[in-house]
Amino acid sequence: MTIKDTCVELGTKIENELIQVRADHCELAQDLTERINGVAGRLKNLDAKVDESFARVDERFTRVDEKFAKVDKRLAALEEGQRVMQESQTAMQENMRAMQDSQTAILATQTAMQDSQTAMLATQTEMMHILVAIQRKLDVN
């Protein structure tokens, strides 16, 4: 083989090698494109799932907020009931104090009446003794 043939053969081999490299690059580019498209598809699916999950979470937050609103209403009603009960209890305590004051006055009146009755009894006893003494003097005469 001559140099010329060798050079042509070398040029052909290099050209074939370049064609093969380009074919490999195209194949790798195609494979990479398919992978990127696959990842993009998965990403879209994942994004849809995340959006769906966020929608469910938002719905749950809405339900929780509604429940908190109900609890707040019940708490307000309980606080109002407690306020009414405290007012009622205060009124009852005032009535009780008035009754105790009245009872104290009745006891004082009762004590005064007992003292008066005791004094009247003592006076009646003394008068009875005087009448008995007069009766004895009359009997003696």
Predicted confidence at residue 40, as pLDDT, reads: 93
Look at residues 127, 128, 124, 104 and name the one whose alpha carbon lies nearest to residue 116: 124
3-class secondary structure, 138: helix
Confidence label for 68 from pLDDT (cuts 50, 70 and 90): very high
Q: What whole-number distance in Å separates Cα of residue 74 and Cα of residue 72?
A: 5
d(CA 109, CA 134): 37
pTM: 0.47
Proportion of the chain in helix, strand, coil states, percent, rounded to 5: 100, 0, 0
- Give 31-54 pLDDT, tens digit per residue: 999 999 999 999 999 999 999 999
Q: pLDDT tens across 86-129, in order?
A: 999 999 999 999 999 999 999 999 999 999 999 999 999 999 99
